[in-house]
Structure 1
Amino acid sequence: MAGTNRPRLLRYILLSIGWISVAFGVIGIFLPVLPTTPFLLLAAACFARSSPRFYHWLVSHPRLGPWIVHYLDGHGIPLKGKVYAIVLMWLSIGLSCYLVPLPWARGFMLTSAVLVTIYILRQKTLRNTPHD
């Protein structure tokens, strides 16, 4: 991790995005509208590039760390996380397609939803975790 070799402004931007992502990830634990894992993965990526200390804190955190570590280690995504992500994504895409009358925009949103759904379904399912 070369967090200290980055220009100062870039480090601050990455740290800001990282902490905002942590906040959204924590909110997502309690609010089913926000998916937790993608925000925590984004935070980990930002911290890995800006602050080894915060990266270590995040992946070692007793509540937040497992969401990241299980995914990065290839153990998979909890079934509950997969279901929430897919259902909420399709609900939001459906509402967006209803509200946006542009055919090309609808096509883009639907194509994106199909591709993301395929990606999520192809990921290994993590069994027997406290998050399920």
Structure 2
Amino acid sequence: MTRWMWAALAWTSLVLGIIGAFLPIMPTVPFILLAAFAAARGSKRLRHWLVTHPKFGQAIIDWETHGTVARRAKWLATIMMSLSAISMLVFSPVWWVPAIGIAVMGSVTLWLWLRPEPVH
């Protein structure tokens, strides 16, 4: 039963990560990393597919082995969070919603840029 729950979490996280690649308000990388983590416990085939994937694979391996994030990924995340912040400022009917979102994204951006970068 536990294996099925891990597999369900892995697949759900993967789907959310893919959705996040197209929606600026939804993160991609955390969901893909969660999918890889859960797949290691619930679906060996999905895990293998994730770590050998041309887009996700190296980032997952870098994160799991050294806790590193590529500079390109940092820039992409920063740009996407900035676009999200702008859209929140434009479309939110109250000021405090974008303020909270921007504070969270600012904290995540700071944390992300403090992560080391892989040496390949």
Which range, TM-score by smaller chain? 0.7 to 0.9
Contact preservation (8 Å) 1:100, 1:106 = yes
Per-residue CA deviation, residues 31-86 of structure 1 (Å, 9 max, x unaligned), is 7x687643421220231232234223422x15232120011111511111110100
- TM-score, length basis structure 1: 0.69
**Any gaps of 5 or more consecutive residues in structure 2?**
none
Q: Which has the larger radius of gyration?
A: 1
CA distance in 2, matches of 1:94, 1:36: 19
Report the counterpart of residue 2 of structure 2 in structure 1. Answer: 6
Report the counterpart of residue 49 of structure 1 in structure 2. Answer: 41
Report the counterpart of residue 91 of structure 1 in structure 2. Answer: 83
Report the counterpart of residue 17 of structure 1 in structure 2. Answer: 12
Contact preservation (8 Å) 2:68, 2:115 = yes
- TM-score, length basis structure 2: 0.75
Identity of aligned residues (%): 24
Deviation at 1:11, TM superposition (A): 4.4
Quick one: which amino acid aligns to residue 17 of structure 1? T
Of residues 117, 120, 126, the one that matches 2:109 is 117
Of residues 86, 102, 108, the one that matches 2:100 is 108
Per-residue CA deviation, residues 2-40 of structure 1 (Å, 9 max, x unaligned), is xxx5074x3453243144257x28x95xx7x68764342
Deviation at 1:101, TM superposition (A): 2.3
- Over 3 Å counting, the alpha-carbon distance change for 1:84 and 1:78 in structure 2 is same
Runs of 4+ in 1 over 6 A off after TM superposition: none
Contact preservation (8 Å) 1:37, 1:68 = no
